[in-house]
């Protein structure tokens, strides 16, 4: 079980920046299926808060879990990864 106050951190690629102070981040994960012994790729898109509008499409970013900022936004951009 996670400690109180620890937040989830994810790394992904910006796929949309058309909104004001918001970016859509695609996070890819690879997990192994225990039964069939295969590696499966799963992807999910998250809306993340970008207060400076500094992220562009194709940027690799790290996002962190936060309080709800809008109906669908629960993540914040922490940094761009070069």
Question: Contact, 9 vs 46, CB < 8 A?
Answer: no
38-76 confidence digits (pLDDT tens): 999 999 999 999 999 999 999 999 999 999 999 999 999
Beta carbons within 8 Å of 29's beta carbon, 6+ residues apart = 41, 42, 43, 44
Q: Is the pLDDT of residue 1 over 70?
A: no
CATH of the domain at 59: 2.40.50.140
Closest by Cα among 30, 25, 22 to 10:
25
Give the distance from CA 82 to its chain's centroid. 16
With a pLDDT cut of 70, the percent of the chain lying above it is: 98
Q: Is the pLDDT of residue 36 over 70?
A: yes
Does any domain span residue 59? yes
> Could you tell me the pTM of the whole model?
0.88
Give the pairing of strands 9-16 and 22-32.
Answer: antiparallel
10-24 confidence digits (pLDDT tens): 999 999 999 999 999
Does any domain span residue 2? no
- Domain around 31: 9-81
């Amino acid at each position: 079980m996670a400690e109180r106050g620890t937040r989830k951190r994810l790394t992904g690629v910006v796929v949309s920046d058309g909104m004001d102070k918001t970016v859509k981040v695609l996070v890819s994960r690879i997990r192994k299926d225990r039964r069939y012994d295969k590696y499966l790729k799963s992807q999910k898109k998250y809306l993340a808060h970008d207060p400076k509008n500094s992220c562009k499409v194709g940027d690799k970013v790290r996002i962190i879990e936060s309080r709800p900022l809008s109906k669908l936004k629960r993540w914040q951009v922490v940094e761009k990864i070069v």
